[in-house]
């Protein structure tokens, strides 16, 4: 089946620094990737939709200047947390939708990465 | 608006059936989903149901959908300790791929 990887799987950084998280679709092409954030014992909250070759679409309340998304190729999207603070500590999960998806067809062809645990000290 | 709600915790004994319930608000989702998350891991798609169906069975999993009441349930037969995890239901408003998740139900299976 389709595989989505994330790197790193966990990272600890100092307050004020920036951290980049990669999301890769390993055996399929993804025009659309989604970035979610999950706090401990809570649900996943959609942060933004990343579209290959265009600007990301951010959900209400998500600061686009703080969470920079770049979807430079059909297999890679990156999320950069700029000037990280302790309140940014969270579990970040990406998902990727297969290029073969067409509107009106099954929408379960969306695959999730294993997540990246970010801790800001 | 878009809102998905689940009960937070369920405890069962090994071998019993587990039923996890979910309510949703959006009626435009063509599919509704159940995902499983094990500790420290990403999400695994367990099953999904087309919105025009009332029931779907897949081995030990049975999904029931009451579209009128916007109520979705997941039944796990013969629950095993390996089924211990957090289960999320999700809707897909407008079929855009932007999933809206419930809070997750932690399933604890006692031996």
A119 touches chain B (CB under 8 A): no
Work out the average pLDDT over B26-45: 87
Residue A101 pLDDT more than 60?
Answer: no
A28 touches chain B (CB under 8 A): no
**Is B42–A46 a contact, with Cβ atoms under 8 angstroms apart?**
no
Q: B21 exposed, middle or buried (CB, 10 Å; 0-12, 13-18, 19+)?
A: middle
- Pick among B34, B42, B45, B91 to test the A interface (most A CBs inside 10 A): B42
Tell me: the pLDDT tens digits for B1-14?
568 999 899 999 99
Tell me: the pLDDT tens digits for A24-81?
999 888 888 999 999 887 888 999 999 888 889 999 999 999 999 999 888 999 999 9
Partners of B44 on chain A (C-beta within 8 Å) are 112
**Is B42–A114 a contact, with Cβ atoms under 8 angstroms apart?**
yes
B12 touches chain A (CB under 8 A): no
Q: How confident is the model at residue A102 (pLDDT cuts 50, 70, 90)?
A: low
Q: What is the 3-state secondary structure (H, E, C) of chain A?
A: CCCEEEECCEEEECCCCCEEEEEEECCCCCCEEEEEEECCCCCEEEEEEEECCCCCEECCCCCCCCEEEEEEECCEEEEEECCCCHHHCEEEEEEEECCCCCCCCCCCCEEECCCEEEEEC
Query: How close A17 gets to chain B, by Cα (Å)?
Result: 24
Residue A108 pLDDT more than 70?
Answer: no
Q: Which of A97, A104, A114 sits opposite B97 (nearest CB)?
A: A97
Q: Percentage of chain B surpassing pLDDT 70?
A: 98
**Is A49–B103 a contact, with Cβ atoms under 8 angstroms apart?**
no
Query: How close A43 gets to chain B, by Cα (Å)?
Result: 4
Q: Percentage of chain A surpassing pLDDT 70?
A: 90
**Is B97–A34 a contact, with Cβ atoms under 8 angstroms apart?**
yes
Q: How confident is the model at residue A99 (pLDDT cuts 50, 70, 90)?
A: low
Query: How close B60 gets to chain A, by Cα (Å)?
Result: 20
Tell me: the pLDDT tens digits for B65-98?
999 999 999 999 999 999 999 999 999 887 777 8
B24 touches chain A (CB under 8 A): no
Nearest CA to A88 out of A5, A22, A9, A18 is that of A18
- Pick among A43, A46, A109, A119 to test the B interface (most B CBs inside 10 A): A43
- Quickly count: other Cβ atoms within 10 Å of residue A54's Cβ: 9
Tell me: the pLDDT tens digits for B15-31?
999 999 999 988 888 88
Residue A103 pLDDT more than 60?
Answer: no
Residue A15 pLDDT more than 60?
Answer: yes
**Sole residue written with tokens 């979705």:** B72
Q: How confident is the model at residue A1 (pLDDT cuts 50, 70, 90)?
A: low
Helix/strand/coil percent split, chain B, to 5: 5, 55, 40
């Amino acid at each position: 089946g389709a595989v989505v990887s994330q790197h790193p799987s966990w990272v600890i950084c100092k307050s004020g620094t920036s951290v980049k998280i990669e999301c890769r679709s390993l055996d399929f092409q993804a025009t659309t990737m989604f970035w979610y954030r999950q706090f401990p014992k809570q649900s996943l909250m959609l942060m933004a939709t990343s579209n290959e070759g265009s600007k990301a679409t951010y959900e209400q309340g998500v600061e686009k200047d703080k969470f920079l998304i770049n979807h430079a190729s059909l297999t890679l999207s990156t999320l950069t947390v700029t000037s990280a603070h302790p309140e940014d500590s969270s579990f970040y999960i990406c998902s990727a939708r297969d290029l073969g998806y067409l509107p009106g067809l099954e929408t379960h062809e969306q695959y999730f990465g294993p997540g990246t645990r970010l801790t800001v000290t | 608006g878009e809102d998905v709600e689940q009960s937070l915790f369920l405890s069962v004994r090994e071998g019993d059936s587990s039923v996890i319930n979910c309510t949703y608000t959006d009626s435009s989702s063509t599919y509704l989903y159940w995902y499983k998350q094990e500790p420290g891991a990403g999400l695994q798609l367990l099953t999904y149901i087309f919105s025009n169906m009332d029931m779907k069975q897949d081995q030990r999993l049975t999904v029931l959908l009451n579209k009128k009441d916007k109520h979705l349930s997941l039944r796990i037969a013969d629950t095993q300790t390996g089924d211990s995890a957090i289960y999320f239901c999700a809707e897909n408003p407008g079929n855009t791929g932007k999933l809206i998740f419930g809070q997750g139900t932690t399933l604890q299976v006692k031996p």
